[in-house]
Chain A
Amino acid sequence: MLLFEKRENVSTKLKVAIPLISVFLGLVAGGIAILFTRTNPLIVYQALVKGAFSSVYTFSETLVVAIPLILISAGLIVAFKMNFWNIGAYGQYIMGAIFGSFFALNMPATMSRPLLLAIMCLAGILGGALWGLIPAALKAFWEVNEVISTLLLNYIALYILKYLMYGPWRNPASHGFPLSKPFELNAQLPRLLMRTRVHLGLVFGIIAVIIIYILITKTKFGYEIRVIGENKRAARYGGINITKNIFIAMAISGGLAGLAGLAQLSGVIHMLQIEINPGYGYTAIIVAWLASLNPIIAMFVSVVFGGLETGGYQIQMAIRVPFGIVGTIESAVLFFLLGGEILKRYRIRFRRNTS
């Protein structure tokens, strides 16, 4: 019979070894899946990395995908540190995009670009923050399970978007397709590098990561949310105002997700539409978890995910391996990492059944 015995403490060696072995096993599993299509997995992996990082252009594409992940995961880390399961980054992202788009679509094209962009960014943060504050209030005052409330709000946000896109904000010139008018130049985040799509959002991301890192490790707020997340009763005993912190944390979490939505729209897509990759919201949860809730590590993990996606498209074109391989490898690695987690907390013992 398999028994799990609680470990007293974990040596750093194990803390590093277990994830590494898990990643390796995941890659092997992915490799086996590839073998079934009679392709050499090593070639696929090589092409994947090449497609993601080899040239300036591909690396820039990797960064473009990574930017929203960096922003959203930084915000999620704040919520998760407090044990507030914000599954609603998807909806907060959308609301940020909507709020920001309002200004993009309604302000004159002659308005000063920096001013308009500043307003749009603030609107994006505001939209996401408001959407995050709703489940915060529900939890703080009425103890509503936040997994459920944030999940439901995702759908509501999506449908608000659909309503706007099929309705009042639809571009009359789009032949019935749910698209808004394209953003004028002054509503577009500037590119950072010529001939790439990397936009100012990257700077936002890096700044956000630094701020969140400092927030969590060096401020009173960071200390308080860590105490709340680890031991709510001790937090109350220590006089920490839990309600206030839930609100601040979700305002930050939602705000960053909203900013990500705004940045994606303003920096890459240049218009509001139904397909604005809100899947980022869920992927960012995985990123935050993989990074063990460390914002700096999350930044690098975001780039890895960006690389997987970009590389995936590349290998689809170059060596005709379907994009689905990315998901297969990703999930295989995740499963092994998830499974490996338990070894950090427990030791496996085999015990013969005692009569």
Chain B
Amino acid sequence: MDEIIVQTKGITKYFPGVLANDHIDFELKKGEIHTLLGENGAGKSTLMNILDGIYHPDKGEIYINGNKVHIQSPFDAMANSIGMIHQHFMLVDTLTVLENVALGLKSQGFYIRKPEIAKQIKQISQKYHFNINPYSKIWQLSVGEQQRVEIIKTLFRGAEILILDEPTAVLTPQESDDLFKIVKKLVKEGKSIIFISHKLDEVMEISDRITVLRKGKVVGTVNKNDVTKSHLAKMMVGREVLFSLKRKPLKRKGEVLKVKELEAYNDKGVKALKKISFTVAASEIFGIAGISGNGQKILAQVITGLRRATSGKIIVNEIDITNASPKAITSSGVNYIPPDRLKVGLIPNLNTVENAILRCYDREPISKRNFIDYKEAAEYTKSLIRKFNIMVPKIDAPVKLLSGGNMQKLLSAREIAEEPKLLIAVHPTRGLDVGATEYIRKQLLKERDNGLAVLLISEDLDEILMVSDRIGVIYEGQIMKVLNIKDAERNKIGLLMAGVDSARN
């Protein structure tokens, strides 16, 4: 039972601007459940996508059962008995389970022998207690059931090694329990599992061994029984001391944002916010720390009116803005720097001026009656460019031609220039170079000094620690704990981010 079935040696992978995998040595033993643990951007998904043939490593080797292999595509992976279940399912919703399993199956000829395939599916389903009817249409199935169809697809094709990428992200607690039962059964039947997660409670429950990644490197591989959650958290978040930006001490003024027992669902119908509550004051930066997928984006969307809250309240300066329209919310003094500048915040094919006026195009002096005075608009844009030091070679060229940093500066400038009472900034420095990053952070601090209340949501714990006055750690749609910056200790936050209940005290 100790044979090594998958081994990687020195896997290295570059993406523009980032070293995603840095000489990673990893091994999977036959019949074990081996978890890959790490924060966002640690490199877990990249490594697994390399094993699945979606990415090709720049350096390093992969060995399956002791033999060196080259995995160029998911088919090579499958040929090597590796099957991956991604976070986003590859299912066609109008087809049946059987048809989805048969899709692309090389062993079938022209005619699909449905009874045969159905029998095999039923066998697999019975063995692992999947409870899936091969003739159901995918759109009729729950998310948990769809996930099981994905597992069936890999087992059907003879997978011996299964990679599960954050499988519980889309499941209810009950479904997660069911999944764990299935995983344990798979292992009993001789399969080997690589489990990707960032939830420490789960990890401790299901794993045999755990490999922690951090910023592309392996921090260490441990046996579950030899560690505590605290150890793991420490390994996950590290203990570097980063320089802190100089700032004036916190002088919390009145309460600007009050979120009370807010609830909302994500696109898959799973509850993403579970009675979440917190407040943000004027002249304060409240940072929400957490691993991606715990409800942060949903929270921002609900507060800014882009998603419905199913219960609870959002109050800004004593006004209830719960489920108000985005326009009404903006008028109440709330501005939003969204995480996706190209898909949501800016309009890539329109020019800088047209993007700059997105918030104020229907107000004087830019708008007069029903017309837009583009000369005024250009003046306004130029003033933004000057004030915020944005590099725009041609003001009437499509904004997608600007560098990432300048696009983000434009986006931030536009929102901050509205002089809001509350600014919600989500991943404001993602994908930016050092200079732009520092600039934006300084800008946030400056506005905070001027009285702005800032709700900062970021995957980058360092950024949160650098800039926030108070930190709320979010996990599975709830605030685990709120800490003052002086009490904010890296390891503690790491534990909270990974869902360890006991860290609340």
Contacts and interface: CB of A to CB of B under 8 A. Distances in A.
Chains A and B in contact, CB within 8 Å: yes
B330 to A, nearest CB: 6
B330 A236 contact: no
Nearest to B359: A238
Contacts of A233: 343-344
Contacts of A143: none
Interface stretch (B173-181, B370-378, B464-472): B370-378
A238 B345 CA distance: 8
A227 interface: yes
Contacts of A9: 397-398, 401
A240 to B, nearest CB: 8
Contact of B370 (A221, A231, A237): A221
Interface residues of A, number: 19
B345 A237 contact: yes
B338 interface: yes
Contacts of B371: 218-220
Nearest to B305: A239
Contact of A231 (B348, B357, B362, B397): B348
A218 B374 contact: yes
B344 A220 contact: no
Contacts of B330: 239
B326 A234 contact: no
Contacts of A226: 350, 354
Given A8-B401, A237-B338, A238-B358, A230 B344 contact: no
Interface residues of B, number: 30
A157 B361 CA distance: 39
A223 interface: yes
Summarize A's interface: helix, strand, loop or mixed: helix
B362 A220 contact: yes
A324 to B, nearest CB: 39
Nearest to A233: B344
B136 interface: no
B301 to A, nearest CB: 9
Interface in A217-268: 218-223, 226-227, 230-231, 233-234, 236-239, 241
Nearest to B355: A234
A316 B357 CA distance: 55
B372 A223 contact: yes
12 contacts: A220-B362, A220-B371, A223-B361, A227-B350, A227-B358, A230-B349, A234-B346, A234-B347, A236-B326, A237-B326, A239-B327, A239-B330
4 tightest Cβ-Cβ pairs between the two chains A and B: A239-B327, A238-B358, A239-B326, A231-B347
Given A219-B371, A238-B359, A239-B330, 9 more contacts: A220-B370, A223-B354, A223-B372, A231-B344, A234-B343, A234-B344, A237-B336, A237-B345, A238-B326
